[in-house]
């Protein structure tokens, strides 16, 4: 049987498994059962394939067979960049379930091949260490703690586990379509490298994650209304990683140029929608509003507190957020 990472944490309470019915999530479903983990499953039907509806029905039947609850979500996503929008949609669904039902962790079936494919894609986009390690064994996303128990196992080992135990699963025919970026990296580079260097790749990811934990300080923004704020960490790299996480939660992925601007410090408008203001002690992120007419007294107070003009439009209509900044700056 495959060993699950972070088994002690999985045993702390009831968790939610992101379940597609494919190779990886089918294996993880049965491994959670075998390890007596309390869990339910969540399945998203995008209606992109002929078998989508039957796969959703199979997920419900499997859960019922084992006395679990299956949360289902049906959506149709048109337009470009399907992979990004599908990811945003399913994590919105997972977040809703986590909050409503009080699941302790979200559990996903990402494995070693996924991790290598992600690293290669980010490497070709000019990413830093936190982005290269975007798939971590324990992570947080929009307040959700995510555990990936299969991250040290490669796809070949997982398929062997399914075959040995005769576990039925679905095969997503779209996985062969190289119009999807991840599939192209998988078939051209990831699979041959994993076949040749699996053990070395596994060790490298362990070292990289340990190094990242030492180099990048965790940055957790707090929120009041639509204002996000944090006490500045020791390094700009740590702060940039925190800012990037917040903006991604809004659906915005920063460009290289935007990241270079942030590194300079000061106040910047991102995507014409967000203000990022880095002060001496705190960093603030808020919606950008340049249409609000402000009274003289408010402007004078902002000048006294050294609140940048690009942040004032939002604060004028957000008294709770403004009161917070006054308290922080008057300390």
Domain segments of the chain as ranges:
7-214, 222-330
Query: How far apart, in whole angstroms, are the C-alpha atoms of residue 250 and residue 54?
Result: 33
Query: How far apart, in whole angstroms, are the C-alpha atoms of residue 95 and residue 100?
Result: 9
Task: Specify the long-range contacts of residues 82-88, CB closer than 8 Å, at least 24 apart.
Answer: 82/48, 83/180, 83/181, 83/182, 84/253, 86/44, 86/46, 88/251
Do residues 103 and 15 lie in contact, with contact meaning Cβ atoms separated by under 8 Å? yes
Angle CA 323–240–275, to nearest 5: 45
The pTM (predicted TM-score) of the whole model is 0.77
Please give the chain's pLDDT, 331 residues, in tens: 799 999 999 999 999 999 999 999 999 999 999 999 999 999 999 887 888 899 999 999 999 999 999 999 998 877 777 777 888 889 999 999 999 999 999 999 999 999 999 999 988 888 888 888 889 899 887 778 999 999 999 999 999 999 999 999 988 666 666 666 778 888 899 999 999 999 999 999 999 988 888 888 888 899 999 999 999 998 898 999 899 989 988 878 888 889 999 999 999 999 999 999 999 899 999 999 988 899 999 999 999 999 999 999 999 999 999 999 999 987 5
Place domain 7-214 in its CATH homologous superfamily. HUPs (3.40.50.620)
Query: How far apart, in whole angstroms, are the C-alpha atoms of residue 175 and residue 183?
Result: 6
Q: Which of 310, 283, 114, 290 is nearest to 122 (CA)?
A: 114
Do residues 144 and 98 lie in contact, with contact meaning Cβ atoms separated by under 8 Å? yes
Pairing of strands 144-147, 106-107: parallel
């Amino acid at each position: 049987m495959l060993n699950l990472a972070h088994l002690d944490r999985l045993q702390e309470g009831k968790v939610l498994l992101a379940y597609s019915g494919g190779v990886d999530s089918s294996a993880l479903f049965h491994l959670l059962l075998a390890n007596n983990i309390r869990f339910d499953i969540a399945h998203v039907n995008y209606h992109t394939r002929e078998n989508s509806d039957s796969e959703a029905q199979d997920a419900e039947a499997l859960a019922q067979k084992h006395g679990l609850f299956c949360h289902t979500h049906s959506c149709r996503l048109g337009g470009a960049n399907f992979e990004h929008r599908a990811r945003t949609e399913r994590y919105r669904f997972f977040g809703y379930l986590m909050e409503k039902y009080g699941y302790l962790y979200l559990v996903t079936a990402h494995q070693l091949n996924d991790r290598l494919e992600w690293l290669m894609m980010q490497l070709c986009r000019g990413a830093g260490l936190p982005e290269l390690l975007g798939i971590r064994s324990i992570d947080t996303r929009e307040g959700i703690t995510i555990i990936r128990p299969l991250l040290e196992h490669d796809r070949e080992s997982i398929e062997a586990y399914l075959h040995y135990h005769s576990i039925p699963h679905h095969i997503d025919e779209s996985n062969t379509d190289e119009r999807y970026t991840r599939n192209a990296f998988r078939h051209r580079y990831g699979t041959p490298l994993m076949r040749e260097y699996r053990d070395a790749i596994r060790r490298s990811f362990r070292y990289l994650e340990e190094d990242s934990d030492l180099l990048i300080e965790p940055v957790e923004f707090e929120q009041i209304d639509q204002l996000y704020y944090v006490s500045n960490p020791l390094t700009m790299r740590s702060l940039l990683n925190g800012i990037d996480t917040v903006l991604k939660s809004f659906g915005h992925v920063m460009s290289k140029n935007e990241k270079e601007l942030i590194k300079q410090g000061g106040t910047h408008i991102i995507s014409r929608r967000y203000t990022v203001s880095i002060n001496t002690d705190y960093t603030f992120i808020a919606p950008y509003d340049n249409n609000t007419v402000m009274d003289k007294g408010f402007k004078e107070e902002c000048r006294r507190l050294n609140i940048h003009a690009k942040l004032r439009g939002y604060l004028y209509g957000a008294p709770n957020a403004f009161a917070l900044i006054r308290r922080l700056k008057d300390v």
